[in-house]
Amino acid sequence: MTKIALNGYTTADPYGKKAENIAITALESDVSDIIHNSISDAFQNTFPNHRVNLDSFLFVATHLREFFENSGTYALMDIGGEYTSLSVIRDDTITASTWAGFGTEYLIRSLLTGEKTDRQSVVSELVMYIDNTCTPSQCRKIETALVSIEQEWIKAFGDACANLSKHSRIPTKVYVSVDKRYGKWFKTVIEKIDFANFTITGKPLEAQILTLDRAKKSIKYKEGVKQDTVLALGVLFVDK
């Protein structure tokens, strides 16, 4: 557990104090399913009207400094399938976090309308649009469909940023973890939104997509071998 906030104010000694709301930031490492489920059940029993998300990505990311160019303060965004988490990191500690119910799967489902009911073809067309390899007519159709979806993302992410900024201003530099197929689209949308009133510097967010390319100095591959992402992450954890 890294932080407890009562009514929006951080406290090192919450015992015996009364509050209308409590925010707990906890960093969970590798645990068995039994312990994982017990922790989830404990939170759910205590806060039955709140959704509980245990995000292992934060543990991984905050231990791999190779990704962050020795940044002391930065924001970390994990765009998963069903939701997006946003955390503020200061001196290797998560000081504030929030999440929005919009992820890559939500993006894909939003395009599954009308005659488009095949998920794989929708994904293929979306990726071609992002990579600018689609035909003019295909691009126009995808672009038109993405207009309303982009507004949904702006609202979901904007509400999350507004909620987070009540307790902590967001660093301008934000590192984004997302399926690389959709990274360009999310990066563009994040940077085009005017969220300057939520940031420390008063400037718009500067998004950088996290990839293993940022850790090339720490990983040396033999010539001709397949560069396995999961294995590479495991190597980076050696002696951490």
Q: Which residue has the tokens 């905050």?
A: 62
- Residue range 206-218, pLDDT digits in tens: 888 876 666 666 6
Cβ neighbours of residue 13 under 8 Å, at least 6 residues apart?
none
Identify the weakest region by mean pLDDT among 6-15, 66-75, 83-92, 151-160.
Answer: 66-75
Mean model confidence pLDDT for the chain: 79
The fold adopted by the segment(s) 63-236 is: Nucleotidyltransferase; domain 5 (3.30.420)
Domain boundaries, the chain: 1-54, 63-236
Give yes or no for residue 69 having a pLDDT over 70: no
CA distance 156 to 101: 7
CA distance 167 to 23: 11
Distances (CA, A) of 177 to 25, 83, 145, 229, 232: 20, 12, 24, 13, 16
* Mean pLDDT of the 85-111 span: 84
* Mean pLDDT of the 46-51 span: 76
Q: Which two tokens stand for residue 193?
A: 């939104």
Query: Are the CB atoms for 198 and 159 separated by under 8 Å?
Result: no
